[in-house]
Amino acid sequence: MVAKYSQGRASTPPAKNSMALLLVAALCSALGGVVLVWQLFSTGLTPAPALSAFLCLLSPVVMLMALSGLRRTAVSGPQKAPALVAGVASLTGIPAQALQDEAQQSVAVARLKGHLHKLTEQKKVLTSSTRVLAYQKSNAESILRSMPEGVLVLESTGKVTFANQQFLRWYRLQPAEVLGKRPQDWCERDELAAFLNRFCGSLARRAERAPLDRDPPGKPGAFLSATALPMFSARDEGVINNTLIVFSDVTAEVNAQAARDEFATALAHELKTPLHAIGLQAELLLGEDGEDDSMRVEAANFIQQEVDHVGELVRNMLNITRIETGSLAINRKLTKITDLINNAIDNLEAMAADQHVVIQRHLPDSMEASYLDKDLLRVAINNLLSNAIKYNKPGGEVRVYLNESDAHMILTVEDTGLGIDESERAHVFDKFFRSEDSNVRERSGHGLGLSLVREIIELHNGTISLESEKGRGSTFTIRLKRMSVPLQEAA
């Protein structure tokens, strides 16, 4: 009994085991192919590329074990393993009856080896494809993680499958708080949560934008724009696999639009006042008072004064707009700045005399010429000097100094006028800014002169600074770099 039992265990299991191993090998090969196809057709970010490689690697190993079992079975006699013989016949195409012959068994083994070789080659191809997929996936994730925009990927159920660092940073979230969860589980901002929840159960079919999200936890004062986009399958552009949410920082655009709106409102107000005054004078001229010669002359002078005011406003506005939009190119030419300053003072002497203001010149007899934009700098110097005269006191003075250092030319305009309150000094260079002081308000002005001066000086890569004391006057200092050779401006 013991001998028979031992003989049974020695002969039957190898055949059964070999058949089982062949089935396992075939199953591994099939599963490896299925996994690879799944990877090739899926656009998700979560497949494990190592799985297909493992299954394909396991298949030839199992096949080798099966071949070893077949050889042992062939020696002991294939007639004792009908199931194995049937399996070999199926794989090799040799009839089961023919496999009883030892020669045919050798042929079967050779064919099985060929089949094993094919599986090995398929394994190499699958491994190479898996590496390519892993590389592409790694690159895609790297790009998304390094984007300056925030990125979320939602599957059809609304669960987050990807969130980059920028998004997590802006909303002060950790990956574990977001990944694999729906928006209602982690988003505490009502409008944003309502927008994201629209894609729980349905994917985005077109670009959709959420209301601006202001003051995100990780970036106070900012405005974020969220846009939902459909993520199409790489294989079939008609199939949408996920929803992509892109968060962009639009703070600069929002502030720029607010500035444009403010600029337009202030400009309309500044134009309305002189146009209304011109209209009143025109009515006087059309009425009975228009027959009086002195009245006609006074009205004509007033209208001319207001037209000049509007003209100056429009010119300054156009210059500022051209500078800010970059459409005004600086045209540097060799210029003697002393001549430029003297000409500006000469042109303003009459205005100073009308205001009973004296202009004092403290200029060097000569100074080396420098490459400057003569026309723009003339506008800046004229605006600075005219302000010093306009907002001065009767009997006041305007002192103009020009000095130089090794690297700079320094122009200083000092007046004994009204001065500027400390609370307003930081705003004097803002467009359309005018002091609330009643003494300033009663004098004509549109609040663009000093703003234009700063723009022109900065266009020359220079600086302008202010020192002032209420009731004691102001001092403006311009520092310009000396340039004795032409400078090619950056495009």
Where is average pLDDT lowest: 119-133, 275-289, 361-375, 438-452?
Answer: 119-133
Over the stretch 55-73, which tens digit does the pLDDT of each residue have? 555 555 555 555 555 555 5
Residue 490 belongs to a domain: no
Residue 56 burial (CB count, 10 A): 25
Structural domain total, the chain: 4
- Percent of the chain past pLDDT 70, that is, above it, reads 67
Q: Which of the pair, 115 or 217, is modelled with greater confidence?
A: 217
Mean pLDDT, residues 34-45 taken together: 47
Query: Quick one: which of 323, 285, 328 has its CA closest to 452?
Result: 323
Considering the domain architecture, whether residues 343 and 470 belong to the same structural domain is answered as yes
Answer with the residue of higher pLDDT: 33 or 275.
275
pLDDT over threshold 90, residue 192: yes
Verify that 31 and 138 share a domain, yes or no.
Answer: yes
Whether 233 and 267 map to the same domain: the answer is no
Confidence check: pLDDT of 471 > 50: yes
For residue 309, which of 449, 140, 126, 479 has the smallest C-alpha distance?
449
Q: What is the per-residue pLDDT across 105-155, written as a single tens digit (0 to 9) for each?
A: 566 666 666 766 777 777 677 766 666 656 555 666 666 677 789 999 999
| DSSP E strand stretches across 277-357 | 333-335
Would residue 401 count as lying in a domain? Answer: yes
> Looking at residue 130, what is its pLDDT?
65
Question: Is the domain of 229 the same as that of 133?
Answer: no
Asked if the structure places residue 487 within a domain, the reply is no
Q: Where are the alpha helices (DSSP H) in 147-211?
A: 165-170, 175-178, 183-186, 190-197
Domain boundary, last residue among 188, 217, 249: 249
Per the domain annotation, does 491 fall within a domain?
no
pLDDT of 259 higher than 80? no
The SS3 of residue 229 is: strand
437 and 339 both lie in a single domain? yes
Q: Which residues contact 446 (CB under 8 A, 6 or more apart)?
A: 270, 309, 312, 313, 316, 432
The helix/strand/coil state of 469 is strand
Mean pLDDT for 224-250 is 88
176: domain CATH number? Answer: 3.30.450.20
The answer to the question of residue 488 being in a domain is no
Q: Please give the model's pTM, rounded to 2 decimal places.
A: 0.47
Q: Are residues 106 and 204 in the same domain?
A: no
17 within a domain of the structure (yes/no): yes
CA–CA dist 484, 364 (Å, integer): 18
Asked whether residue 367 is assigned to any structural domain, the reply reads: yes
Containing domain of residue 53, as a range? 2-142
Q: Which of 113, 142, 171 is the last residue of a domain?
A: 142
Q: 233 and 259 in one domain?
A: no
pLDDT at 179 over 90: yes
Domain CATH for 299:
1.10.287.130
pLDDT at site 84: 54
pLDDT at 103: 56
> Which is more confident, 421 or 183?
183
7 with 131, same domain: the answer is yes
Specify whether 390 is located in the same domain as 457: yes
pLDDT of residue 457: 92
| Beta carbons of 447 and 427 less than 8 angstroms apart | no
In this model, does residue 459 exceed pLDDT 90? no
- Say if residue 367 is in the same domain as residue 463: yes
Are 319 and 437 members of one domain? no
Lowest mean pLDDT, pick from 141-155, 205-219, 321-335: 321-335
Residue 489 lies in a domain: no
Q: Last residue of a domain, which of 90, 111, 142? A: 142
120 and 57 within one domain: yes
